[in-house]
């Protein structure tokens, strides 16, 4: 096994190196044959790497079947207890749409409250709340209209749609798992396909589907060629039908388009962060993986705007000493696994690109741990070079291990100036920040002065259009025009707004470069973006005891903080229970009152399943017992104190250990069977 | 003026009476000429009523112009302080879409937290959270696909769309206000049109627009005939294009379709309430009235399910003694104004239909008053008979007076069993509740027994369809078939699923009514629905001082609870301010720290404009002053206590009066200029 690991590490390095070669060739616009050859070599290396990877995986074994059973068990409990309900169930449901039932809603609301507290309040962020309906131009600028697609194939007879890569993946996996007749060579080929298919072009994917004779899974009908399907829900704004719009696929764009107002609101100071919680929509082709890949979900996103020349963070020292599982690019490429790093060192060594990115990684870690995510099931994985968008400086995902494997729950990316530049360009509104320079700086500035009198004589009513076009030239265009005018005295010039060329003569415009003193630096800020999939985080709470169906929500996120029940059916006890219930409600503590006559043991089991951390049992008219779910320990407190003890624990002001140390213990092994 | 009022009261009663006549005729399916005549009389009476109404209004005068100026002033301040931002502003914005900026978000989040506390927690409601994307069948059942429309006209040349009733209204108002040449007769006619246009049919509205020669306001081009435009944003679910969907126009339907699961979750006990907070969407034809009529908004809705035969409420006594402004149908019809009623008496007298409806009216009143809505600007207006849906038992709107007049912010309706019946019917899933009867009851039950052997011989492969159709007959259909079979021996019978008639003979089915003992009553619950327009409530906070641009948010909803500033720029004071700021953040109190050197008076003014209720000024290294916005009073407290005093007031645990009574007063008239 160690040999395999070493071999994988070697192969991975070669892939990374060759990947860099390809990118360098593309960047330098090398000749096509040269690039193609380099890509061919890259694919070969990838095949080799993936072959080793698969061998290694097989030799480890992975217990997939246990996972599947556990997952099904969890989903059943979640649905039975109304954590989730398939949406519109009485009408047969809609794939990829789920409701949160009462306990799910309570958990979600607790998570969002804590998110607001931990990020918006404690970091003084500017919260905004923008509509889901978004006009096309915004998503054109962001690139979503053109690029937010998956490849799809259609059953040529019924029209049923499938994700092309899913079909190919399923075909390969099934062959490998169930068809014992295939040759070793064929098996190797299928494994190779699985390894490299992520990088397939539309044509390559289509060719493979044809080659393997893959048909529609439900009907065995032939399939169409793959083609891109845009994942946004489209709609139309207003009644005319002429303003296309989409349901936003993320909340971030609403922040970017408001940058200017927010920057002014913040007193024109950087850095600052804006945040938004809201619904996002993705019209998945055929949603699978139940609650993880859905068509509508809640995102919580932060856009932290920072000077690209200074990405230090004032509060970095507060997180620098944290140690937790990280999985840098290098460790992934060399086949190692995630290991514990000290965050401060990871930033100092350059493993994490900059302090601000590191600060947010630390804050996300603290957030997830405070929510009760197990530190051993949480890791921060760095994107490989080929996973990132070309403009991104660095990107880390907080992944939580669940029955589906490691799930990306939070992405933390340094997106550089990409988004603000894209919207500046499309809208014509500069989304920039200024910095007063300590000393004025001398710069060369382009000066274009159209001679209006001459232009008026030549172009009459069109003068204004020509003037505007001349003034809008960038430095390159203007210097080229200046050169042509000096050599030829005349130049053909395209005026957009007239949609034609006009002839510009030397006397119509003066172009020069003047030295100027600048007192401020104007620049487009970089954006560091932590983006939280709230539903995925909630799904990952379902840890607990794999056998017992018990949800181990920590008090902070538990949907119901406390159950209140009289030990036996008895008017006095019931009255006392109602008084406590009212006190709990008045301090905002969600709870359940259970006055059925069921045995106390059964009632404890019932609340354990819901993940209720505390239970108050009224067994006298002056005092009650409080029981903690995980330890099953009980203390005795007075009737008057009950609500305040529970609320202190629920809000994190007191731990159960504090309670255990302050109140007399109570033992009742007999009833808690 | 009193004569006018009396006259209006008379006219209103006649309209109400004649309205009842029309409804009765329609219900009894009277002959068309008879109905038409009654409607004609009704319209005549409405004209008379509206003429008197207008006279009265004119004689009162209404200060519309002051209102307009005030409104503009408020909107400017709201936008300047980023309470609201026109969405996608850098791209020119989209009518009817607004962002909440940082203070707007904070207020919204506070209002929603308090809503959850006041309704969901204190009333033990079941919260759900359903997707916005909704398949067509759900909204077909609810009636939205067919009936959720406004009448629209198009500019025949440019295609620009207008709401037909808005154009007619604007035409009439402008003629009346600006055209001094029109005759008294014409003026009366226009006033009549304004009064009755709400009840115009598509044809009547079109005819009036033609008659008055109304053209497109922007171009003066001719207009199309009016036609209904559905106000839902349409989209398509999944990639095939064959599953139409809509963005939900309200959140209620998500609750109704989950009734069965929620009823089981509640232990099959009535009454119970479910609640949902979320986005709703209405593709308004041409949104006007700025922030009040928008295309996307946050609703908070409650559906309280109750036995139609017992609408009493266990906790009614807790609200029965409340007294506030109510505006029952009778008072409206007789031209009186809203007056103070005792809620208990209003229910006892039958003014409010039932205790549960009354209970929610009381709870809504308490909610709005706790939020800081002025009692004198809040009234509960009952819907007139012709305003309500035909199935509604009673309906009251909580209206708040603003610069747009009285605005409906919360609707509280008894919708009877309409919604659950509609979804039961469409989905085939019975959405019903059961009640165990104390004593079994003898009932007659229809028994339909298809004779499968005979049917099989006669219909072969179609047997199953015929059997299902026979079994699906309701009581009327079955008893009619029984009679025909007994008299003629044979009957023609339409089988839906075959789309044709078949001939049923006497030996093919036996139909009878058998006596049966029933041990439980099965019924469709009634729904009481309080529905809150959160954005409208927030808009109505903008009360305060009409001159001063000061927002008088009570501490509970204030976006920023507190400002912290050092009296002068000084490292010691700044450090202390930062310590307090950190303490405030850790207990979740939103605040602003201001360490600019601006004069303290200017800093107070700045926070006053944002509606910040409290300000902490650090003027020593051991103690600070706390100032209250409205009274401008100041107390002195120790550095250590500052955060906890502010948090007690912000969370409503202490009033400013309590603080004033407990701490030494501080006077600093000199700086607070």
What percent of chain B shows pLDDT beyond 90?
52
Is residue B340 within 8 A of residue B360, CB to CB? The reply is no
Residue A59, pLDDT score: 58
Residue of chain B minimizing CA distance to A588: B117
Distance of residue A4 Cα from the nearest chain B Cα, in angstroms: 43
Question: With an 8 Å Cβ cutoff, are B279 and A132 in contact?
Answer: yes
List all residues of chain A from 505 to 534 with a beta carbon under 8 Å from chain B: none
Is residue B358 within 8 A of residue B372, CB to CB? The reply is no
Q: What is the ipTM of this complex?
A: 0.79
Residue A547, pLDDT score: 44
The strand order across the sheet containing B149-154 reads B161-163, B149-154, B227-230
CATH top-level class for B438-523? alpha beta
- Domain extent listing, chain A: 1-62, 149-230, 441-521, 560-666
Q: Most A CBs within 10 Å: which of B79, B82, B91, B603, as the mutation test of the A interface?
A: B91
On chain A, the residues whose CB falls within 8 A of the CB of B296 are: 131-133
Question: With an 8 Å Cβ cutoff, are A82 and B262 in contact?
Answer: yes
Q: Residue A351 — very low, low, confident or very high, per pLDDT cuts 50/70/90?
A: very high
Alpha carbon distance B110, B496 (integer Å): 54
Give mean pLDDT, residues A22-32.
85
Q: Superfamily assignment of A560-666 in CATH?
A: Anticodon-binding domain (3.40.50.800)
Residue B592, pLDDT score: 86
Alpha carbon distance A290, A68 (integer Å): 12
Please indicate if any CB of chain A lies within 8 Å of the CB of B260: yes
Select the residue of B128, B239, B588 nearest A100 (Cβ to Cβ): B128
Question: With an 8 Å Cβ cutoff, are B128 and A258 in contact?
Answer: no
Question: With an 8 Å Cβ cutoff, are B126 and A101 in contact?
Answer: yes
Distance of residue A69 Cα from the nearest chain B Cα, in angstroms: 25
On chain A, the residues whose CB falls within 8 A of the CB of B263 are: none
Question: With an 8 Å Cβ cutoff, are A295 and B242 in contact?
Answer: no
Whole-angstrom distance between the N-terminal and C-terminal Cα of chain B? 47
Alpha carbon distance A237, B247 (integer Å): 12
Residue B150, pLDDT score: 93
Question: With an 8 Å Cβ cutoff, are A131 and B87 in contact?
Answer: yes
Question: With an 8 Å Cβ cutoff, are B585 and A135 in contact?
Answer: no
Give the DSSP H or E segment for B369.
Answer: helix B355-370
Please indicate if any CB of chain B lies within 8 Å of the CB of A279: yes
Residue B522, pLDDT score: 93
Question: With an 8 Å Cβ cutoff, are B257 and A90 in contact?
Answer: yes
Select the residue of B116, B233, B240 nearest A235 (Cβ to Cβ): B233
Residue A545 pLDDT > 50, yes or no? no
- Helical H segments across A554-622, by residue range: 571-586, 600-609
Distance of residue B581 Cα from the nearest chain A Cα, in angstroms: 9
Fold of A149-230: Herpes Virus-1 (3.30.40)
CA distances from B78 to A261, B72, B294, B625 (A): 13, 10, 16, 29
Residue of chain B minimizing CA distance to A535: B129
Q: Residue A17 — very low, low, confident or very high, per pLDDT cuts 50/70/90?
A: confident
Distance of residue A420 Cα from the nearest chain B Cα, in angstroms: 12
pLDDT, tens digit, for every residue of A184-204?
A: 888 889 988 887 887 788 999
Question: With an 8 Å Cβ cutoff, are B90 and A126 in contact?
Answer: no
pLDDT, tens digit, for every residue of A164-173?
A: 999 999 999 8
Mean pLDDT rounded to a whole number for chain A: 88
Alpha carbon distance A193, A205 (integer Å): 10
Give mean pLDDT, residues A52-65.
62
Residue B418, pLDDT score: 94
Give, to the nearest 10 degrees, the angle between helix B164-178 and helix B202-211.
Answer: 40
Fold of A1-62: Helix Hairpins (1.10.287)
In the block, tokens 């209250």 appear at B628
Question: With an 8 Å Cβ cutoff, are B129 and A105 in contact?
Answer: yes
Select the residue of A82, A122, A261 nearest B265 (Cβ to Cβ): A82
Residue of chain B minimizing CA distance to A116: B588
Select the residue of A82, A138, A235 nearest B234 (Cβ to Cβ): A235
Q: Specify the range with the lowest mean pLDDT, choosing from A150-154, A331-335, A560-564, B299-303.
A: A331-335
The strand order across the sheet containing A323-327 reads A126-127, A272-281, A296-306, A526-533, A405-414, A394-402, A378-382, A323-327, A339-342
CB pairs under 8 A between A and B: 220
pLDDT, tens digit, for every residue of B32-45?
A: 888 888 888 888 88
Select the residue of A91, A102, A161 nearest B128 (Cβ to Cβ): A102
Q: Residue B271 carries which DSSP code? A: S
**Which of A131, A119, A422 shows the shortest CA–CA distance to A275?**
A119
Select the residue of A122, A133, A295 nearest B233 (Cβ to Cβ): A133
Residue A291, pLDDT score: 79
Residue A85, pLDDT score: 93
- Helical H segments across A129-278, by residue range: 136-141, 144-147, 164-178, 184-196, 202-211, 252-257, 259-265
Select the residue of A95, A133, A239 nearest B97 (Cβ to Cβ): A133
Question: With an 8 Å Cβ cutoff, are B89 and A257 in contact?
Answer: yes
Q: Residue A369 — very low, low, confident or very high, per pLDDT cuts 50/70/90?
A: very high
On chain A, the residues whose CB falls within 8 A of the CB of B261 are: 82, 85, 89, 101
Residue B180 pLDDT > 80, yes or no? no
Q: What are φ and ψ of residue A300, in 5° steps?
A: -125, 115
Q: Is B65 helix (H, G, I), strand (E, B) or coil?
A: helix
Residue A672, pLDDT score: 42
Residue A548, pLDDT score: 44
Q: Residue B130 — very low, low, confident or very high, per pLDDT cuts 50/70/90?
A: very high
Alpha carbon distance B139, B134 (integer Å): 8
Give mean pLDDT, residues A262-266.
95
Distance of residue B670 Cα from the nearest chain A Cα, in angstroms: 28
Question: With an 8 Å Cβ cutoff, are A98 and B132 in contact?
Answer: no
Q: Residue B668 — very low, low, confident or very high, per pLDDT cuts 50/70/90?
A: low
- Helical H segments across A197-266, by residue range: 202-211, 252-257, 259-265
Question: With an 8 Å Cβ cutoff, are A99 and B281 in contact?
Answer: no
Q: Is A360 helix (H, G, I), strand (E, B) or coil?
A: helix
Mean pLDDT rounded to a whole number for chain B: 88
Residue B545 pLDDT > 70, yes or no? no
CA B460 to chain centre: 54
On chain A, the residues whose CB falls within 8 A of the CB of B138 are: 88, 91
Question: With an 8 Å Cβ cutoff, are B240 and A104 in contact?
Answer: no
Distance of residue A296 Cα from the nearest chain B Cα, in angstroms: 7
Give mean pLDDT, residues B383-398.
88
Highest mean pLDDT among B34-48, B62-76, B256-270, B536-550: B256-270
Cis peptide before A271 (omega within 30 of 0): yes
Of 2.20.140.10, 3.40.50.2300, 3.40.50.11440, 3.30.720.200, the CATH number of A441-521 is 3.30.720.200
Please indicate if any CB of chain B lies within 8 Å of the CB of A494: no
Residue B95 pLDDT > 70, yes or no? yes
Residue B634 or B553, more confident:
B634
On chain A, the residues whose CB falls within 8 A of the CB of B126 are: 101-102
Q: How many CB atoms lie within 10 A of CB A180?
A: 5
Residue A68 pLDDT > 80, yes or no? no
The full DSSP string for A490-532 is EEEEEEGGGTEEEEEEGGGEEEEEEEEEEEEEEEPPEEEEEEE
Question: With an 8 Å Cβ cutoff, are A427 and B283 in contact?
Answer: no
On chain B, the residues whose CB falls within 8 A of the CB of A108 are: 129
- Helical H segments across A268-390, by residue range: 329-333, 343-348, 355-370
Please indicate if any CB of chain A lies within 8 Å of the CB of B105: yes
Select the residue of A108, A113, A236 nearest B129 (Cβ to Cβ): A108
Instruction: Kindly tell me the burial class for residue A667, based on how many C-beta atoms sit within 10 Å of its own C-beta (0-12, 13-18, 19 or more).
Output: exposed
Question: With an 8 Å Cβ cutoff, are B427 and A90 in contact?
Answer: yes
Q: Specify the range with the lowest mean pLDDT, choosing from A454-458, B62-66, B150-154, B610-614.
A: B62-66
């Amino acid at each position: 096994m160690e040999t395999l690991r070493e071999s994988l590490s070697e192969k991975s390095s070669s892939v990374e190196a060759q990947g860099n070669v390809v990118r360098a060739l593309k960047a330098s616009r090398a000749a096509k044959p040269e690039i193609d050859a380099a890509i061919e070599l890259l694919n070969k290396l990838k095949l080799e790497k993936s072959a080793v990877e698969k061998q290694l995986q097989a030799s480890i074994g992975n217990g997939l079947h246990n996972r599947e059973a556990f997952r099904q068990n969890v989903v059943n409990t979640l649905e039975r207890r109304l954590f989730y309900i398939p949406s519109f169930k009485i009408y047969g449901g809609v794939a990829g749409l789920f409701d949160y039932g009462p306990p799910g809603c309570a958990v979600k609301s607790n998570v969002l409250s804590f998110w607001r507290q931990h990020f918006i309040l404690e970091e003084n962020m500017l919260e905004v709340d923008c509509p889901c309906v978004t006009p096309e131009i915004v998503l054109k600028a962001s690139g979503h209209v053109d690029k937010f697609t998956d490849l799809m194939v259609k059953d040529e007879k019924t029209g049923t749609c499938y994700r092309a890569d899913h079909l190919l993946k399923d075909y390969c996996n099934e062959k490998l798992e169930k068809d014992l007749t295939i040759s070793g060579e064929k098996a190797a080929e299928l494994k190779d396909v699985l390894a490299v298919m992520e990088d397939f072009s539309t044509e390559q994917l289509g060719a493979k589907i044809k080659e393997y004779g893959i048909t529609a899974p439900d009907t065995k009908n032939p399939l169409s060629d793959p083609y891109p399907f845009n994942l946004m829900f489209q709609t139309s704004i207003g009644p005319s039908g002429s303003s296309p719009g989409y349901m936003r696929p993320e909340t971030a764009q609403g922040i970017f388009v408001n940058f200017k107002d927010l920057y002014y609101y913040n007193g024109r100071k950087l850095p600052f962060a804006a945040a938004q919680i809201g619904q996002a929509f993705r019209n998945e082709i055929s949603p699978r993986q139940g609650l993880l890949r859905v068509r509508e979900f809640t995102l919580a996103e932060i856009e932290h705007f920072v000077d690209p020349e200074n990405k230090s963070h004032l509060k970095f020292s507060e997180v620098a000493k944290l140690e937790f599982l990280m999985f840098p690019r290098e460790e992934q490429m060399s086949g190692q696994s995630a290991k514990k790093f000290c965050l401060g060192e990871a930033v100092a060594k350059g493993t994490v690109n900059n302090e601000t990115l590191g600060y947010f990684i630390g804050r996300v870690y603290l957030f997830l741990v405070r929510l009760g995510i197990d530190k051993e099931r949480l890791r921060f994985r760095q994107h490989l070079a080929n996973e990132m968008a070309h403009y991104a400086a660095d990107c880390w995902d907080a992944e939580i291990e669940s029955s589906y494997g490691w799930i990306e729950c939070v992405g933390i990316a340094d997106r550089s100036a990409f988004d603000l530049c894209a919207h500046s360009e499309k809208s014509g509104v500069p989304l920039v920040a200024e910095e007063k320079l300590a000393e004025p700086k001398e710069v060369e500035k382009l000066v274009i002065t159209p001679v209006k009198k001459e232009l008026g004589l030549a172009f009459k009513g069109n003068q204004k259009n020509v003037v505007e076009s001349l003034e809008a030239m960038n430095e390159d265009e203007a210097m080229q025009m200046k050169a042509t005018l000096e050599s030829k005295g005349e130049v053909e010039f395209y005026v957009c707004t007239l949609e034609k060329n006009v002839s510009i003569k030397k006397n119509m415009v003066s172009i020069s470069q003047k030295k100027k003193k600048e007192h401020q630096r104007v620049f487009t800020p970089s954006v560091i973006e932590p983006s939280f999939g709230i539903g995925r985080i909630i799904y990952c709470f379902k840890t607990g005891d794999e056998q017992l169906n018990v949800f181990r929500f920590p008090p902070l996120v538990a949907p119901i903080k406390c159950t209140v029940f009289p030990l036996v059916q008895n008017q006095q006890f019931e009255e006392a229970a109602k008084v406590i219930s009212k006190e709990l409600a008045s301090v905002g503590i969600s709870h359940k009152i259970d006055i059925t006559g069921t045995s106390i043991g059964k009632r404890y089991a019932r609340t354990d399943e819901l993940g209720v951390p505390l239970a108050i049992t009224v067994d006298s008219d002056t005092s009650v017992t409080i029981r903690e779910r995980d330890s099953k320990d009980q203390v005795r407190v007075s009737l008057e104190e009950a609500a305040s003890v529970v609320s202190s624990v629920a809000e994190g002001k007191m731990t159960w250990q504090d309670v255990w140390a302050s109140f007399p213990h109570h033992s009742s092994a007999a009833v808690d069977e």
